[in-house]
Amino acid sequence: MDIQDIKNRFGIIGNSPLLNRAIDVARQVAPTDISVLITGESGSGKEVFSQIIHQLSARKHGPFIAVNCGAIPEGTIDSELFGHEKGSFTGAHEARKGYFEVVNGGTIFLDEVGELPLGTQARLLRVLETGEYIRVGSSKVQKTNVRVVAATNVDIYDAVQKGKFREDLYYRLNTVPLRIPALRDRKEDIHLLFRKFVADFTDKYRSPNVQLTEDAQQLLANYPWPGNVRQLKNIAEQIAVLEKERLIDARILGQYLPTDNRSTLPVHVSAGANDDFSERDLLYKVLFDMKKDMVELKKLVIGIIENGVNSRIVEDHSPYINQLYREVDSPAPEQLAPPSTLTIHHPQGGKSEDFHFHTQEAEEVEEESLSLVEKESDLIKKALKKHKGKRKSAAQELGISERTLYRKIKDLNLN
């Protein structure tokens, strides 16, 4: 079967060399049992290529199942993939077959494979190498004959470097890499795809056909399409349903294209990715506060060096000096203890001078913790308190997934 036949059979539109190369790789690897790792941005059509590999293989009459690894909670992913025995965990009222047992003799497509927990990665590696697995709660080794096609929209090699993905599993899955080009790299195909989608939707909704002017076609080709084919299809449907004008120029088309070209798609919305962002944000906040402290101290020292020690310098910075001695919940100014004395030595060896400013009692001074764990714990507590214990709302407030919030509450022993 040549490339054009494959396009016709699976509804693939486009003549981009990058697209043709991806189809050719899928066609060549399909008759083998080699594991394939499909990479590409979200919405670029990775699942279609998994179907090509399955349908052109000797397993085409066997079962095929697509599993979104990022959508399954971490606590149940092993049970979903490998099955479990009755009573193996709370809620396991009966034994259940996993996907690897159900799809025996066929193909399993693991989408967002980069979201798998490390423990599950070890189990998957054993299946790939020996065809063996063990149900959750069992000690009996079972065999399966399943071909694995995996896909991801994140940089797996980068995850390997960060210790979030097993290096041995990466090389085992990546026997044959298959890269799906982003839509912005297939500019010659964008208008073809748009025409096909619009024709389908106008036929479905029984509305007049839509055509693009030359400037609209140019805008369509130059738009970055962060959502790839999925986003283009969505825009085509909106225009087919909502637009009264059937000759679309660049001005009209621009109204349907988001002005912010940055992608707003979830990256799993993955637990791993959200962990990176939440911890990084906390670190940035701590470092920013430390930098601000250092800048103020630098100003104080430079002023002393350049101008000598004078009361004006200390007075200008006395609020900052006071702040260094305050606790987080500081009392009102009138509740401060009597003035304390700051002795500053002249840089040229001159006479030392004493300056007074308000501080709290020594026994009340407590250094603020810079622990990321404590900062993160405090933010989670505040979010939960704000939303009255509703974890879904708290997770949205924190900018992390609900699954990640559950795990962090468990890890930090928060009630």
How does pLDDT run across 122-177, given as a tens digit for each residue? 999 999 999 999 999 999 999 999 999 999 998 898 999 999 999 999 999 998 89
Q: Which of 370, 362, 402 is nearest to 384 (CA)?
A: 402
pLDDT value at 40 more than 90: yes
Provide the pLDDT for residue 272.
42
Q: Are 248 and 213 in contact (CB under 8 A)?
A: yes
CATH topology of domain 184-254: Helicase, Ruva Protein; domain 3 (1.10.8)
CATH topology of domain 3-181: Rossmann fold (3.40.50)
Residue range 200-215: mean pLDDT, rounded: 91
Provide the pLDDT for residue 87.
84
Q: Residue 321: enclosing H or E segment and its boundaries?
A: helix 311-325
| Mean of per-residue pLDDT scores for the chain | 81
In one-letter notation, the amino acid at residue 114 is G
pLDDT value at 201 more than 50: yes
User: Which residues of the chain form CATH 1.10.8.60?
Assistant: 184-254
pLDDT value at 200 more than 60: yes
Residue range 191-201: mean pLDDT, rounded: 94
pLDDT value at 28 more than 50: yes
User: Which residues of the chain form CATH 3.40.50.300?
Assistant: 3-181
**Percent of the chain's residues with pLDDT above 70:** 74
Residue range 303-326: mean pLDDT, rounded: 55
Provide the pLDDT for residue 188.
93
pTM above 0.85, yes or no: no
Residue range 193-205: mean pLDDT, rounded: 93
Sequence-separated contacts (24+) of 50-55 with Cβ below 8 Å: 50/107, 50/109, 50/149, 50/151, 51/10, 52/6, 52/10, 52/23, 52/26, 52/27, 53/26, 53/29, 53/107, 53/149, 54/30, 54/106, 54/107, 54/109, 54/147, 54/149, 55/9, 55/10, 55/30
Higher pLDDT residue, 291 or 250? 250
| Max intra-chain CA distance, the chain | 94
Which parts of 2-97 are beta strand (E)?
A: 36-39, 64-68
Which parts of 175-268 are beta strand (E)?
A: 176-179, 211-212, 247-248
Report residue 262's pLDDT band, with 50, 70 and 90 as the boundaries.
very low
pLDDT value at 338 more than 50: no
Calpha distance 302→291 (Å, rounded): 16
Higher pLDDT residue, 395 or 22? 22
DSSP annotation of 136: B
**Percent of the chain's residues with pLDDT above 90:** 52
